Amino acid sequence: MTATTPPRARPRPAPAPRPRRPVSYWAYLLPMGVGFGLVVLVPFAVNVWYSLFSWKGGAAPRTWVGLENYRELMQDDVFWRSFGNTLYLIGAVAVVPTVIGLVLAALLFDHIGRSFGARAASVLRAAYYLPQILPIAVAGVLWSWILETRDGALNSVLRSLGVTTLPDWLGDPGIALWSIMLMLVWLQIGYPVVVLMSALQRVDPELYEAAELDGAGWWRRFRAITVPHIRTDIYVVVLTATIGAMKLFAPVLILTRGGPESSTYVPSFFSYRNFFELSRVGYGAASATVLAVVIGLVAGGLIFWQARSVEADR
Amino acid sequence: MTRTRLRVAGAAVAVLAGGALAACGGGSGGDDSTFTILQYETTSTAQYKGWQLALEMFQEAHPDVDVEFASTSFDSIRSNAKILLTGDDVPDVMQFNTGNADGGQLAAQGLLDPLTDVVEENGWDDTITGSVAALAKYDENGHAGSGDWYGVPNIASFFTFYYNADLLAEHGFDAPPQTMAELEDMFDAFLADGVTPVSSNAGEHAVLQTWWQLVSGDADRQEIDDFIFLQGEPDVTSGAFASGTERLQEWIEKGYLGTQLAGIKADEMERAFIAGEFPFMANGTWSFSRVAEEADFEWGTFTFPGAALNAGASGHLWGVPASSQHKDLAYDWIATTLSPEVQNEIAAQGGIPVAGDTAAIEDPRMRDMNEQFDAIKAADALSFYPDYPVPGLLDFQMSGLQGMTNGSTDAAGFLAGLQDFYDSGKDS
């Protein structure tokens, strides 16, 4: 665009307010920046500092050990197992609920909404979202009742169906992690359903009508119209859910406390336990630092992937 | 005016938020003019009820003092006591958990005041002696058993058998067993009738304490003290540790304790016993009140027959934080909780006071349980609990015993791992 000079004959317009210099926008970011610095950056820096010491906490002496805690962490089987478990949890929190949530959102929006009205779709959406508003402690206690070995709800149902060898949901190290994953899928589904249904509001209905006139079935419309149009929202859901899965703590604390036989350890519980229960403050801080770095890298990678994908769509 | 508040310590939230966990200060406590008592018992326990009486007596004696009786949870104290006590606003007297991993560390870190002089002045060491007193004292490294007094116990607990007399009678037994052989014969008879003998769990602590009781049953004082108080070089792969652990494995393999134990927690174990599904429950005296309130059959308790020592400990120690601003009042509070009125109230409520008068207890079952404790105390036969010596031992033992109940490890494997964990924890 080239600059033009207004014709002299015209009355001079009232001077437009001077465009603010871009730097002034920073003023709006300042409170958040200060808050972020105080709540995240400073504590993180202190955490990194503590991770370089051997320290029992409290008024106990601190001994400088440099990177020794990190070296030990790299050789700690339980720590690595806890990261391995995180991959399963990403499946349970990010992958499975997003896939199910996407299909449910499309069904509610496209099928239920049309056949039974928007209100029916809204009621169902709220029902899926309900577990999300439950305090995690309540959800955990609820699921511990469901999964109880001897007279839990799930095993009672299985018993009534004639199953004689009942699973030990939270006591069998081969099953316990899957039990936690089951709860997490239940807990998480409402989130993608709500986000993706609101994303679907943006899709031009004429596209669906045109596709229908051309004879496209539901699955074809889902693949060709729904998914491409809300891809950015899907990225957001996957990103936030993945980060949520990596720092997951409360369900493990409530359902299994890392057991049985340490089979359900996750990194945040590992940090918690070292920090508070074993009084290994430096070691716990080192594991928290590693977790924060890994989460940062994964989040950065996902954002990069999303940005590149959006760019490719243009 | 007394303000009774339920406080849930928020420091653990800092963990979830990530970041500088140790940097968090704050905690519970009143201002300079308020005398703050911090405790972690739930309201249904005998000691909580006893302390309500202590609170009344304390206020009568100090009508001008503004008292705050603050409560938190056991886990919160375990996790957050160090943060709480390094903050600016600490309670004046507080309850803390027994053992090297908990009270020992608070003492070694200078967060609690030594109380030896106060204990001697008040003569508390005349009534609280031997193994009942052992876990109130910590040395400069935070190891229990010697050094200064840092806490004063109010109550005790021990591991025992609860039995369903009606169910025993149904299967032809008119009295609880007198010897271990008789007990195991009864177990076999129940199994033959298709009844699992013992309600237990490995999702929480019952199998852990059963294991420790079986070890204690074969052990002598020195063997236990060496392990608990980090004396010498205990070899946990031999002696009573080996024989007790092998017996536990035998019990597991024979099915005395049932199956799928790792998924069962204490509540489910208690409910099953109270529902009359099991003739026995191996469990601590802390379940007495619940069984007394809910069981609708004839029942009683008996300690593990023929045991040399008995799992159990005095605990629930009152300590005075180094930064307490009202230390004299704190000593007076402790004296009040140890008074005969309060101690007998704890007994009357189903607890086991360390300085009570057993003969004054009216309920025969409670009197019987307190007599069992008196006998253990007189014989100096408390063997404490197995997680006290080293931080993290509880989770290690829990995990290992879950492995034994699941069949993924055996007695020898568990003990070999225990030796490694204990030795490395002891040296750290």
**pLDDT tens, A93-131?**
999 999 999 999 988 887 787 778 778 888 888 888 989
> What pLDDT, in 10s, does the model give residues A282-310?
999 999 999 999 999 999 998 888 888 77
Provide CB contacts within 8 A for A112, sequence distance 6+. Answer: A120, A121, A124
- Reduce the DSSP state of residue B70 to 3 states and report it: strand
Asked if B406 and A173 touch (Cβ cutoff 8 Å), the reply is: yes
Structure confidence at residue A314 (pLDDT): 66
Asked if A194 and A101 touch (Cβ cutoff 8 Å), the reply is: no
Asked if A217 and A258 touch (Cβ cutoff 8 Å), the reply is: no
B74-104 burial: b if 16+ Cβ within 10 Å, else e: eebbbbbbbbbbbbeebbbbbbbbbbbbbbb
Can you spell out the DSSP letters for A40-104? IIHHHHHHHHHTTEEE-STTS-EEE-TTHHHHHHHT-HHHHHHHHHHHHHHIIIIIHHHHHHHHH
Provide CB contacts within 8 A for B6, sequence distance 6+. Answer: B71
**pTM, whole model, 2 decimals?**
0.81
pLDDT at A7 over 60: no
Structure confidence at residue A21 (pLDDT): 60
User: What number is the average pLDDT over the span A243-266?
Assistant: 92
Pairwise CB contact (< 8 Å): A46 & B20: yes
Token couple for B345 = 């109230």
Structure confidence at residue A283 (pLDDT): 95
Token couple for B271 = 């409910």
One-letter amino acid identity for B117?
D
ipTM, interface predicted TM-score of the complex: 0.75
Interface of A with B in 233-262 (CB under 8 A): 247, 249-250, 257-262
Token couple for B238 = 């031999």
Structure confidence at residue A275 (pLDDT): 86
Interface of A with B in 271-310 (CB under 8 A): 271-273, 275-281, 284-285, 288, 291-292
Question: What is the SS3 assignment for A148-190?
Answer: CCCCCHHHHHHHHCCCCCCCCCCCCCCCHHHHHHHHHHHHHCH
Inter-chain CB pairs, A–B, below 8 Å:
157
Helix B411-427, helix B239-254: angle, nearest 10: 140
d(CA B59, CA B254): 56
A44 to chain B, any CB pair closer than 8 A? The answer is yes
In chain A, which residues have their Cβ closer than 8 Å to the Cβ of B12?
272, 276
B155 to chain A, any CB pair closer than 8 A? The answer is no
> What pLDDT, in 10s, does the model give residues B66-112?
999 999 888 788 778 888 888 888 999 999 988 887 888 899 888 99
Provide CB contacts within 8 A for A182, sequence distance 6+. Answer: A92
Cα four-point dihedral sign A162, A167, A168, A170: negative
Asked if B168 and B300 touch (Cβ cutoff 8 Å), the reply is: no
d(CA B413, CA A261): 13
- Reduce the DSSP state of residue A107 to 3 states and report it: helix
- Bridge-based pairing of strands B280-284 and B155-164 is antiparallel
In chain B, which residues have their Cβ closer than 8 Å to the Cβ of A291?
18
Q: Mind telling me how many Å the CA of A83 is from chain B's nearest CA?
A: 17
Structure confidence at residue A28 (pLDDT): 87
A200-217 burial: b if 16+ Cβ within 10 Å, else e: beebeeeebeeeeeeebe
pLDDT at A200 over 80: yes
Token couple for B331 = 């000593």
Structure confidence at residue B24 (pLDDT): 35
Asked if A81 and A258 touch (Cβ cutoff 8 Å), the reply is: no
d(CA A110, CA A135): 31
Structure confidence at residue A16 (pLDDT): 61
| Average of per-residue pLDDT values in chain A | 87
Least CB–CB distance from A170: residue in B21, B203, B399: B203
Give φ, ψ of A10 to 5 degrees: -75, 145
d(CA B7, CA B73): 8
Provide CB contacts within 8 A for B65, sequence distance 6+. Answer: B35, B59, B329
A144 to chain B, any CB pair closer than 8 A? The answer is yes
Pairwise CB contact (< 8 Å): B395 & A258: yes
Residue ranges in chain B whose pLDDT is less than 50:
1-30
Structure confidence at residue A44 (pLDDT): 95
Q: Mind telling me how many Å the CA of B262 is from chain A's nearest CA?
A: 4
Pairwise CB contact (< 8 Å): B21 & A275: yes
Interface of A with B in 75-134 (CB under 8 A): none
Least CB–CB distance from A58: residue in B85, B272, B400: B85
Q: ∠ CA B91-B96-B98 to the nearest 5 degrees?
A: 160
Structure confidence at residue B319 (pLDDT): 96
User: What number is the average pLDDT over the span A232-253?
Assistant: 92
Mutation site, B278, B393, B402, B426, interface A, largest A CB count within 10 A:
B402
Helices (H), B109-205: 116-122, 124-127, 130-134, 165-170, 180-192
Cα four-point dihedral sign B8, B9, B10, B16: negative
In chain A, which residues have their Cβ closer than 8 Å to the Cβ of B394?
277
d(CA B253, CA B251): 6
d(CA A167, CA B269): 18
Q: Mind telling me how many Å the CA of B233 is from chain A's nearest CA?
A: 22
Residue located via tokens 């049309």: A114
B232 to chain A, any CB pair closer than 8 A? The answer is no
pLDDT at A23 over 90: no
DSSP summary character for residue B263: G
Pairwise CB contact (< 8 Å): A171 & B22: no
In chain B, which residues have their Cβ closer than 8 Å to the Cβ of A278?
391-392
- The CB density around residue A308, as the number of other CB atoms within 10 Å, is 10
Pairwise CB contact (< 8 Å): B268 & A148: yes
Q: State how far the alpha carbon of A151 is from the alpha carbons of B97, B274, B282, in Å.
A: 33, 14, 20
Asked if B202 and B399 touch (Cβ cutoff 8 Å), the reply is: no
Pairwise CB contact (< 8 Å): A58 & B86: yes
d(CA B233, CA B266): 34
Whether the upstream peptide bond of residue A260 has omega within 30° of 0, thus cis, is yes
Structure confidence at residue A25 (pLDDT): 80
